[in-house]
Amino acid sequence: MSQSPVMERRSPDTGVGGRGPAEAAFIRIDGARKVFTQRSGGAVPVLDNVDLAIAENEFVSFIGRSGCGKTTLLNMIAGLEDVSAGRIAIAGKVVTGPGQGQGVVFQQHALFPWLTAVDNVAFGFRKSGLAKAERCRRALELLSLVGLDAAAGRYPREMSGGMQQRVSIARALALDPQILLMDEPFGALDELTRIELQQELLRIWEARRKTIVFVTHSISEALTLSDRIVLLASNPGRIKRIFPVDLPRPRLRTDPGFNALYQAIWNELST
């Protein structure tokens, strides 16, 4: 695990991605709606008219009450869930399915229980056309990126929740996706591991230049990581407010700016 502090990537005056109105959006969500049809035949509107533009290399977090539609929105960007109305485009191309540069870290454990850690990561290369040995070599490389080379031969059930989550991240990075969609990836971890993994993630984001959409329930996690925090309201899910986070990285909880924003988000979230 890297302990090196993460440096501010952009000088503050260039404007953090996605906020300038004219700036080209990398991920563009236009009037996206989602309606689930229930078994009883009724229709539940889950997301209503979501508009959002995310710039390339931006780190955006979604925060909002349980059930407000964060996972659904993430899945729609991933191409795993249809859009009922409106559209979502990545780099100008309408999302019609997975495989348009989206890597996903799922909310629940989504490792294949019958594969060892290294094989789970190597699974990501299945359609890459690489030779088996090469896939394995790269998978090991990714595992060491998340600090897990020693556990390469273990099955998911033989790993702790935190280790499994790291394998999931390594696997999502397999095809070196431009976009990383992460659904509460550190939700079930202890505080220390969580902070370590946050630093790790920022390091990867730095080094590999990725656009990250990150779902979390933790305001301080969102503040530690993101360029912008998108607050969702529920019933139906919609964007309530967007908070730009203009604090230099590494971000400290003791920073007054950090605390002021924390308070502002808390107030907005709890009303």
Partner 1 sequence: MTRKLVQALPPLAAFTVLLLLWEAGVRYGFLKPYQFPPVSRIARGFVELSTTGFPTGVSIWSHALTTILRVLQGYGAALALAIPLGLVIGALPVVDKLTAPLIVFCRSVATLSLLPLVIVWFGAGELTKVFLIGYGCFWVMLSNVIAGVRYVDPTLVRAARTFGLKGLELYRSVVLPAALPRIFAGARMALGVGFMVIVGAEMIGTIQGLGALIMEARTFYRSEITIIGMLVIGLIGFAISAGLMALERAMLPWAGDLDRVRR
113 binds, among partner 1, ligand ATP, Mg ion, none (CB under 5 to 8 A by kind): partner 1
- The pair of structure tokens assigned to 63 is 């925060």
Residue 61 buriedness (CB in 10 A; 0-12 / 13-18 / 19+): buried
Closest CB to Mg ion among residues 107, 234:
107
Distance CA 262, CA 19 (A): 20
Vertex 92 angle, CA 86 and 96, to 5°: 55
> Among 87, 54, 62, 10, which residue's Cα sits nearest to residue 179?
54
Interacting residues with ligand ATP between 197 and 256 (CB under 6 A) = none
71 binds Mg ion per the rule CB under 5 A? yes
H or E stretch at 177: none
71 binds ligand ATP per the rule CB under 6 A? yes
Residue closest to Mg ion, measured at CB: 71
Output b/e per residue, 186-225; b: 16+ Cβ within 10 A.
bbbbeeebbbbbbbbbbbbbeeeebbbbbbbebbbbbbbb
Among the candidate windows 28-36, 166-174, 222-230, 261-269, which touches partner 1 by CB under 8 A? 166-174
75 binds Mg ion per the rule CB under 5 A? no
Neighbours of 56 (CB within 10 A): 17
Taking the complex as a whole, the smallest distance from the CB of residue 208 to ligand ATP amounts, in Å, to 26
Closest CB to ligand ATP among residues 64, 124:
64
Interface map 27-56 toward ligand ATP (x if CB under 6 A): ---------x-------x-x----------
Interacting residues with partner 1 between 91 and 110 (CB under 8 A) = 97-99, 102-104, 106, 108-110
- The pair of structure tokens assigned to 57 is 């290399």
72 binds ligand ATP per the rule CB under 6 A? yes
Closest CB to partner 1 among residues 9, 154:
154
Binding site for ligand ATP (CB under 6 A): 36, 44, 46, 66-72, 107
